[in-house]
């Protein structure tokens, strides 16, 4: 018993000592996590000697972190000085299957961007996501609350494997992080996983492809294969394979001074809630995304001299770029030099050929120090201008413009279809190199604009009068829009016989204006607040001039901010466009199949011609129930939103009856249709027409028209639109004439859409409606119009008509009855 007590006493003493040591270690580790001092040289717990982890067989790539490959494992050797340092983790698709995400996702598309810190906790290294959306000055008491209420998630935890021999770095095994399905950096989000019924990552077919370290970034390529029941490309193997590019980027130690966004000038932005503000709320601040440009000689800059920036924006061409296109690409990049001169800089943006190994042995498109125009051998018809920016300040760190080879085909086709009537050199499948080069130059310039921070400005083409597009001198000077950032690609208004016409877009005055707003250095302004008055004065100087108006691409209601349109009157512009398109349709076989002795190009171009027709029609549809948005501050005169004039809306409805809903016989050419398809002629026209009919008859448009009438009885109303539409679509009932199969199809499409408006139960969580449909006038108006139509059809069916028309009218009457009085 005595021995037992002695043993127990000894045990308690040992336990007490261990507890004291544990408590002491906790305090020590807490301090280590904050200050990250050099690690102890002796190994502790599972921490091994450096040489046993990074063996003599290791393949090492030196850079931001030294990256080691030992057998099948990858290790990061993280310098202690980079712990608790802001970095970006950017995930992009490198390769992906066709039609992933419905075709709106391309190689180069970013899937995740996160600001992170590497932090030490005891014998682990954590990747902690850092919030940049809620901020407060470190010196203020509220900063404690901001951190407590925006606690950052831990993305991954790594065991410390070893310390470097001088204890200046910590070694972790990152194999599992990059070779398993970590949701934080995955390319397949929850929506895509649900859509394709993704079951799991197949580890046997997934691996790390490569890992490279550069001075300011680390690039990892992952090859991942998922088991999926419903993949986007169904070849029977129930597989989705993607290649992901994971970039880890060191952010500047001192963030750039941000510049406030003003929604009167279009810009890509980032936002933060600033709890340091004196405002009686969490103050939301929005900043521009832009490169950091500082004049080399500030005094000369103050005197108004053009000055080079300390660090210009430099783009390198991809080594894969064909030689014959390189000059056009470089010219497209450097077109922006003039715009930067408006901001006081010379040689602010420079294009360079890819360096040789001798010139720069370290050059790599993946290196964050190099911005590159990537040339991608792909059938994708697109070009994109993504960039990476500092979420703390908006500073653009780097950009890679992506040019897909087959984008040339898109521009060739549209050049032929939209300008061929007035432009002889466009009437060929082999567009001259010089003209293709000019188009390529402008596409690159457009994408560069995005990488400089500029979004699309869809109001820029509305600045010019329609008739000006037929004036050679005007088009040569001004192009076809006030900015290269509009989706205004070709002059489709110019008519045969017009001379000296410029058909391709170019930079304009808005580009100079926007670049000055975003990039002019303001000496003496030491905070964003100190710049506000100056920025506002620049905007007010141009207020009211349509050349400097910004129109959002996202607008669904503003006819002055539409994609792919040109000119300030859509009815006139689309009339000219259709007049040209009819000439092209008549000549399409002679410009294509007669030359190639096959129908492949004829079929492709005919399909795209239908798309051009549809765009011209859509530009007019937008005016019905349209609202013009003119963004302004309260100190400026006038209202921000105003409905389109009633007379113009009635004209638009008349134009649609004549050009969209009357059968477009000129599109039904036997020389084309009977050589490219064996069936589907009538349904193709039905599909085109019903698309615009459904667009007219949508809840959102009807809601706007109801609002407009309520605000002013003189405005065009929902009843006006429904009545005008019914009278025009059913004009045969008044004329007592037979109804063709094309019109019968369209009239049945009308009844289907009216039934939709009458019965559709909308999910308020998913719909765009801003009014309660059931309690609005919509159902009553639709019911009234269907009753009117039923009465008209009853009378018309008694006339001497052919059998198809009689059957059609009787069927329509029954359909209306079923809608109004469902059984």
Say what the pLDDT of residue 139 is. Answer: 60
Tokens of 190: 């929850």
**What value does the mean pLDDT take over residues 667-676?**
94
Cβ atoms of 567 and 464 closer than 8 Å: yes
Say what the pLDDT of residue 272 is. Answer: 82
Say what the pLDDT of residue 145 is. Answer: 61
Q: Which residue has the higher pLDDT, 651 or 798?
A: 651
744-745-751-752 Cα dihedral, nearest 10 degrees: 160
Burial label, 527 (beta-carbon count in 10 A; 0-12, 13-18, 19+) = exposed
Tokens of 805: 């028309």
Say what the pLDDT of residue 151 is. Answer: 65
Beta strands in 253-312 (DSSP E): 269-274, 283-288
pLDDT over 60 (residue 523): yes
Per residue in 735-792, pLDDT tens?
999 999 999 999 999 999 999 999 987 765 555 667 888 889 999 999 999 999 999 9
**Cα 471 from chain centroid?**
34
Half-sphere exposure of 582 (CA within 13 A, CB side): 12
pLDDT over 80 (residue 650): yes
Contacts of 56 (CB under 8 A, 6+ apart): none
Rounded to whole angstroms, the Cα distance separating 47 from 507 reads 60
SS3 382: coil
Rounded to whole angstroms, the Cα distance separating 730 from 753 reads 15
Per residue in 175-232, pLDDT tens?
999 999 998 899 898 899 999 999 999 999 999 999 999 999 999 999 999 999 999 8
> What Cα–Cα distance (Å) separates residue 45 from each residue in 37, 275, 350, 823?
19, 43, 54, 77
Per residue in 221-268, pLDDT tens?
999 999 999 998 877 789 999 999 999 999 999 999 999 999 999 999
Say what the pLDDT of residue 791 is. Answer: 96
Say what the pLDDT of residue 771 is. Answer: 82
Low-confidence winner among 81-90, 289-298, 795-804 (lowest mean pLDDT): 795-804
Question: Could you write out the DSSP letters of every residue in 678-707?
Answer: SS-HHHHHHHHHHHHHHHHT-HHHHHHHHH
With bands split at pLDDT 50, 70 and 90, how would you rate the model's confidence at 18? very low
Tokens of 461: 């083409």
Q: Which residue has the higher pLDDT, 527 or 102?
A: 527
**What value does the mean pLDDT take over residues 573-586?**
98
> What Cα–Cα distance (Å) separates residue 214 from each residue in 116, 281, 317, 367?
18, 43, 19, 6
SS3 750: helix
Say what the pLDDT of residue 12 is. Answer: 39
**Pairing outcome for strands 396-404 and 383-384:** antiparallel
φ, ψ at 519 (rounded to 5°): -120, -15
Say what the pLDDT of residue 94 is. Answer: 84
pLDDT over 50 (residue 807): yes
Per residue in 323-378, pLDDT tens?
989 999 999 999 999 999 999 999 999 999 988 889 888 788 778 888 989 887 66
Cβ atoms of 492 and 476 closer than 8 Å: no
pLDDT over 70 (residue 33): no
- For the chain, the first-to-last Cα distance in angstroms comes to 94
Rounded to whole angstroms, the Cα distance separating 777 from 767 reads 18
Rounded to whole angstroms, the Cα distance separating 198 from 188 reads 9
pLDDT over 70 (residue 287): yes
Per residue in 479-513, pLDDT tens?
999 999 999 999 999 999 999 999 999 999 999 99
Measured at the alpha carbon of residue 431, what is the angle toward residues 427 and 432, in degrees to the nearest 5? 120
> What Cα–Cα distance (Å) separates residue 283 from each residue in 72, 118, 246, 395, 627?
50, 29, 33, 21, 30
> What Cα–Cα distance (Å) separates residue 183 from each residue in 97, 162, 179, 180, 455?
19, 27, 12, 9, 30
Say what the pLDDT of residue 236 is. Answer: 78
718-729 vs 646-656: helix crossing angle, rounded to 10: 20
Rounded to whole angstroms, the Cα distance separating 493 from 1 reads 108
Rounded to whole angstroms, the Cα distance separating 480 from 478 reads 6
Cβ atoms of 491 and 579 closer than 8 Å: no
Residues paired with 173 in a beta bridge: 75
Domain range annotation of the chain: 50-250, 592-634+644-823
With bands split at pLDDT 50, 70 and 90, how would you rate the model's confidence at 24? very low
Per residue in 408-459, pLDDT tens?
888 899 999 999 999 999 999 999 999 999 999 999 999 999 999 999 999 9
Contacts of 472 (CB under 8 A, 6+ apart): 498, 499, 500, 501, 502
Cβ atoms of 291 and 396 closer than 8 Å: yes
Write a three-state SS string for 107-168: CCCEEEEEEEEEEEECCEEEEEECCCCEECCCCCCHHHHHHHCCCCCEEEEEEEEEECCCCC
> What Cα–Cα distance (Å) separates residue 439 from each residue in 131, 431, 485?
42, 11, 14
Rounded to whole angstroms, the Cα distance separating 753 from 725 reads 13
pLDDT over 80 (residue 318): yes
With bands split at pLDDT 50, 70 and 90, how would you rate the model's confidence at 5? very low
pLDDT over 70 (residue 28): no
pLDDT over 50 (residue 308): yes
Rounded to whole angstroms, the Cα distance separating 169 from 83 reads 10
Contacts of 135 (CB under 8 A, 6+ apart): 146, 272, 273, 274, 275, 276
Rounded to whole angstroms, the Cα distance separating 806 from 794 reads 10
Say what the pLDDT of residue 659 is. Answer: 98
Residue-level length of the chain = 823
Cβ atoms of 332 and 444 closer than 8 Å: yes
For the chain, the average pLDDT equals 89
Rounded to whole angstroms, the Cα distance separating 279 from 14 reads 58
């Amino acid at each position: 018993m005595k021995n037992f007590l002695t043993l127990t006493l000894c045990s308690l003493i040992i336990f007490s000592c261990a507890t004291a040591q544990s408590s002491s270690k906790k305090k020590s580790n807490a301090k280590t996590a904050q200050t990250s001092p050099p690690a102890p040289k002796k190994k502790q717990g599972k921490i091994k000697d450096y040489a046993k982890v990074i063996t003599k067989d290791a393949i090492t790539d030196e850079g931001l972190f030294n990256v080691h490959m030992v057998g099948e494992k990858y290790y990061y050797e993280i310098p202690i000085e980079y712990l608790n340092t802001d970095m970006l983790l950017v995930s992009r698709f490198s390769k992906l299957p066709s039609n992933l995400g419905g075709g709106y996702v391309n190689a180069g598309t970013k899937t995740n961007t996160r600001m992170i810190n590497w932090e030490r906790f005891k014998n682990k290294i954590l990747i902690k996501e850092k919030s940049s959306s809620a901020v407060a000055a470190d010196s203020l008491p509220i900063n404690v609350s901001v951190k407590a209420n925006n606690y950052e998630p831990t993305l991954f935890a790594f065991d410390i494997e070893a310390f470097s021999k001088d204890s200046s770095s910590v070694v972790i095994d990152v194999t599992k992080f990059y070779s398993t399905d970590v949701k934080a950096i995955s390319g397949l989000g929850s929506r895509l996983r649900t859509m394709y019924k993704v079951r799991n990552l197949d580890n046997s077919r997934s691996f790390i492809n490569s890992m490279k370290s550069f001075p300011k970034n680390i690039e990892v390529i992952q090859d991942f294969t998922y088991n999926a029941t419903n993949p986007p490309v169904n070849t029977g193997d129930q597989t989705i394979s993607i290649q992901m590019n994971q970039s880890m980027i060191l952010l500047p130690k001192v963030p750039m001074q941000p510049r406030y966004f003003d929604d009167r000038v279009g810009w890509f932005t980032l936002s933060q809630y600033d709890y340091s503000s004196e405002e009686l709320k969490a103050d939301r601040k929005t900043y521009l995304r832009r490169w950091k440009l500082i004049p080399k000689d500030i005094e000369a800059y103050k005197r108004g001299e053009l000055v080079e920036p300390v660090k210009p924006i430099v783009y390198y061409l991809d080594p894969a770029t064909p030689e014959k296109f390189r000059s056009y690409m470089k010219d497209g990049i450097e077109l922006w030099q003039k715009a930067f001169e408006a901001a006081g800089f010379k040689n602010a943006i420079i294009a360079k050929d890819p360096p040789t190994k001798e010139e720069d042995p370290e050059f790599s498109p993946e290196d964050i120090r190099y911005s590159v125009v990537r040339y991608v051998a792909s059938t994708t018809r697109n070009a994109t201008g993504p960039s990476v920016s500092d979420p703390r300040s908006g500073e653009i760190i780097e950009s890679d413009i992506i040019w897909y080879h087959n984008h040339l085909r898109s521009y060739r086709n549209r050049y032929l279809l939209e300008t061929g009537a007035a432009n002889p050199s466009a009437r060929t499948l082999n567009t001259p190199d010089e003209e293709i080069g000019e188009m390529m130059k402008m596409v690159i310039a457009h994408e560069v604009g995005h990488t400089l921070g500029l979004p699309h400005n869809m109001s820029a083409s509305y600045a010019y009068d329609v008739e000006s597009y037929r004036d050679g001198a005007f088009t040569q000077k001004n192009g076809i829009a006030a900015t290269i950032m509009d989706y205004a690609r070709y002059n489709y208004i110019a008519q045969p016989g017009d001379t000296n016409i410029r058909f391709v877009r170019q930079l304009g005055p808005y580009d100079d204006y926007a670049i000055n707003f975003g990039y002019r250095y303001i000496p003496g302004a030491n905070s964003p607040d100190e710049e506000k008055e100056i920025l506002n004065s620049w905007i007010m100087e141009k207020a009211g001039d349509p050349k400097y108006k910004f129109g959002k691409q996202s607008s669904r209601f503003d006819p002055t901010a539409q994609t792919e349109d040109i000119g300030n009157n859509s009815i006139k512009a689309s009339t000219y466009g259709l007049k040209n398109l009819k000439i092209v349709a008549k000549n399409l076989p002679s410009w294509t199949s007669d030359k190639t002795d096959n129908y492949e190009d004829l079929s492709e171009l005919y399909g795209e011609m239908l798309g051009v027709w549809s765009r011209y029609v859509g530009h007019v549809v937008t005016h019905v129930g349209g609202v013009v948005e003119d963004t302004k501050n309260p100190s400026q005169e006038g209202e921000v939103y105003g409905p389109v004039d009633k007379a113009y809306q009635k004209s638009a409805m008349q134009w649609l009856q004549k050009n969209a809903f009357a059968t477009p016989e000129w599109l039904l050419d036997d020389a084309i249709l009977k050589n490219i398809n064996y069936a589907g002629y009538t349904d193709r026209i039905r599909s085109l027409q019903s698309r615009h009919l459904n667009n007219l008859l949508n809840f959102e448009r009807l809601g706007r028209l109801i609002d407009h009438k309520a605000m002013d009885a003189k405005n065009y109303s929902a009843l006006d639109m429904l009545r005008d539409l019914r009278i025009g679509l059913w004009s045969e009932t008044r004329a007592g004439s037979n109804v063709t199969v094309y019109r019968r199809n369209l009239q049945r499409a009308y009844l289907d859409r009216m039934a939709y408006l009458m019965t559709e139960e909308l999910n308020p969580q998913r719909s765009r409606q801003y009014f309660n449909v059931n309690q609005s006038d919509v159902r009553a108006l639709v019911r009234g119009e269907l009753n009117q139509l039923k009465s008209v059809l009853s009378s018309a069916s008694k006339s001497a008509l052919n059998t198809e028309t009689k059957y059609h009218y009787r069927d329509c009457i029954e359909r209306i009855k079923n809608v109004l009085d469902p059984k």
